[in-house]
Amino acid sequence: MIKGIKFSGVASGIKAEGLDLGIVVSDDDLNCLAVYTRNAVKAGHILYNRALKTKAVRAILVNSGCANACTGKKGIEDLGKIAQAVSGALNIEKKSILFASTGVIGKRLPTQKIISSIPGLLKSLDENNIDLFARAIMTTDTFPKIARFNFNGKKEYKIIGIAKGSGMINPLFATMLVFIFTDFPVPAQRFARDFKYAVKGSFERITVDGECSTNDTVMLFSKKSGEDEEAIGLFIEGINKVMKDLSLMLVKDGEGATRVIHITVKGAKKKDYAERIARRIAISPLSKTAFFGCDPNWGRFMAAAGDAGVPLNPEKVDIILQGEVLAKAGLEVPFDEMRLKEIMNRKEIELVIDLHDGRSSFDIYTTDLTYDYIKINASYRS
């Protein structure tokens, strides 16, 4: 726990059952850094938060079950009404309250249900109720996602990260919400570049289905007062670790996923080439179903690589799966099919594509594509 930062979660009736409304309240003003979806269609909470331009945050209210996306001006006005209610109940400024939402697109928030739930939500505020908050923001997630990191400077500092996300996970963000809290005093604007770099090295290197959400949000909340220059390096290390841990939890909990695949493309002339090939393989339905079926069909990886829109000489390409060379210089290397199927039947799989064309590389994590993924998303609204 972090002293002075309290969590809560309740069932407000947004979803048919279960927790669906969470809040985090700080005793003191917090800095906030945020990165949002690249989708041109953005949820109401993103438009609302950006318009505030607040420099002192005291609370973040998060709901699941309703994305509040494609709801127009009314969807933003709904947030204003809820903020007014929270502001009055906590006796804090309305502009110090931020929002985040996740769920079905196109539906407005049940504003009155949420407002009616605020007294009960605030009543259970506690520094130890992190799990309650983490469960309240889940949709198709199968487990709450929490990561921690402690480090020492002038005193012991803490970093706590909470995430939700399972499907609609795209390499350029996901249907995910991430909230990171720390008692380390770091000036928000000074750390902005490192924050974005940490996001790129974690949440932008995972994919489940290649779909880009309207609601993606990553927020970092830090204390405004104090100074500890000598510990900034440890703080940056901690932020990177927490983000990486959370990103791996997201991909491991991919909707219907049975395996996590770590794809590395190396030997590229440019990093951009390596990245585009890695991403193309990572979202290829044929590649993902091959992983699900434990099928060492390396031709699917080669075909996807050739469709990445970058220069590629197939006569130089090596493909290594689970440490076994399947193709050398673009040609198949004899291998024991049954043995390969056996070593592919694991929770984690390593695929390496060596282009032998330079020194640049890029890696990404993805999942297999299963029957359950289709079942989950075919009935998401029901």
CA distances from 64 to 35, 154, 178, 212, 361 (A): 19, 38, 13, 18, 37
Sign of the four-CA dihedral 236, 237, 239, 240: positive
Q: What Rg, from alpha-carbon coordinates, does the chain have? A: 22
How many C-beta neighbours within 10 Å does residue 114 have? 25
Residue 48 and residue 305: Cα distance in Å, rounded? 40
Residue 208 and residue 188: Cα distance in Å, rounded? 31
Whether 175 is a known active-site residue: answer yes
Active-site choice (37, 175, 182, 214) = 175
> Could you give phi then psi for residue 10, rounded to 5 degrees?
-140, 170
Q: Give the HSE-up count for residue 197: Cα atoms under 13 Å, Cβ half-sphere.
A: 9
Is residue 172 within 8 Å of residue 212, measured between CB atoms?
yes
Residue showing tokens 């993924």: 373
How many C-beta neighbours within 10 Å does residue 371 have? 9
Residue 272 and residue 277: Cα distance in Å, rounded? 9
Q: Which residues are known to be catalytic?
A: 175
